[in-house]
């Protein structure tokens, strides 16, 4: 299974530039929406959308691997969890998110036990761990249950959290627009905005959210439109370079 995914990823990566450039509008739209919502401390909507896409992908993969019972169990439990906690994630510092946090941990362990660590990493299902560890900090910039964190520590959770949310929202739109494009193909496209968000966008947004939660005066909003094309282009060059190294290493091992 892992070899098939690796070979398919290599094949798709060879045409990565053409594929990515064929769909810039929806990628930019999702980056704009994630950035705007997060900048205004509205983290819940996009987070739940991303989590929905991740779990849908994971349960589909489990079903493909003959784990239909577990897929159905996760789907049913997610419906219950989302109904209970969606409203609590609308803005910052509302509600106690521990139940969902624990559910994410258990759910990821079940998925990894059936699919394995390498598959979970290649298909980005291990982003559940990023959500799991990010929730207690990202949604509570002023601290929680006696714990507190400075701006730098907050950013260490906020940045990968934002990247994972961006990845899964973009991937979900990609698969809706191009259902014939294999899930890993849309994943490669979603890697672009994820890289850009984590490298250039989220650090600034993280600082804005953290300071706003403490009542500090906010600096000017991030100049997203002026830089987005350049950031996505730089992300594509960086990711293509990384994949060329992976492909060369794989060819050498053969």
In tens, the pLDDT along 227-249 reads 899 999 999 999 888 765 444 44
Comparison of pLDDT for 164 and 239, the residue scoring more: 164
Torsion of CA 184, 231, 239, 61, to 10 degrees: -20
- pTM, two decimals, is 0.85
Residue range 65-87: average pLDDT?
90
Comparison of pLDDT for 69 and 102, the residue scoring more: 69
Give the other-Cβ count within 10 Å of 83's Cβ.
9
Residue range 184-206: average pLDDT?
93
Comparison of pLDDT for 134 and 14, the residue scoring more: 134
Q: What is the mean pLDDT of the chain?
A: 82
Q: pLDDT digits over 33-64, tens only?
A: 999 999 888 888 899 999 999 999 999 999 99
Two tokens at 233?
């282009």
Which helix H or strand E contains 144, and what residues bound it?
A: none
Specify whether the CB–CB gap between 92 and 140 falls below 8 A.
yes
Residue range 213-227: average pLDDT?
79
Specify whether the CB–CB gap between 207 and 155 falls below 8 A.
yes
Q: How many Cα atoms within 13 Å fall on the side-chain side of residue 74?
A: 26
Two tokens at 79?
């419906």
pLDDT classification of 17: cutoffs 50, 70, 90: very low
Share of the chain above pLDDT 90, in %: 53
């Amino acid at each position: 299974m892992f070899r098939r995914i690796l070979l398919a990823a290599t094949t798709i990566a060879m045409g990565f530039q053409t594929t990515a450039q064929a769909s810039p509008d929806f990628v930019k739209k999702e980056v704009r929406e994630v950035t705007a919502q997060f900048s205004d401390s509205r983290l819940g909507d996009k987070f739940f959308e991303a989590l929905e896409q991740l779990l849908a992908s994971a349960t589909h993969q489990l079903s493909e691997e003959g784990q239909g019972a577990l897929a159905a169990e996760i789907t049913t439990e997610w419906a219950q969890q989302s109904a209970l906690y969606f409203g609590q994630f609308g803005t910052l510092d509302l509600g106690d998110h521990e139940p969902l946090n624990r559910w994410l941990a258990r759910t990821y362990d079940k998925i990894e036990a059936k699919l394995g660590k390498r598959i979970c990493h290649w298909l980005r299902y291990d982003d559940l761990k990023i959500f799991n560890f990010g929730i207690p900090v990202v949604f509570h910039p002023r601290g929680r249950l006696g714990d507190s964190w400075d701006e730098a520590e907050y950013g260490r959770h906020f940045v990968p959290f934002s990247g994972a949310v961006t990845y899964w929202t973009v991937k979900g739109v990609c698969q809706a627009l191009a259902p014939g494009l294999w899930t890993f193909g849309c994943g490669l496209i979603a890697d672009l905005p994820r890289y850009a968000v984590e490298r250039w966008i989220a650090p600034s947004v993280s600082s804005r959210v953290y300071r706003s939660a403490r009542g500090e005066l906010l600096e000017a909003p991030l100049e997203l439109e002026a830089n987005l094309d350049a950031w996505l282009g730089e992300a594509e060059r960086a990711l293509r370079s990384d994949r060329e190294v992976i492909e060369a290493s794989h060819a050498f091992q053969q």
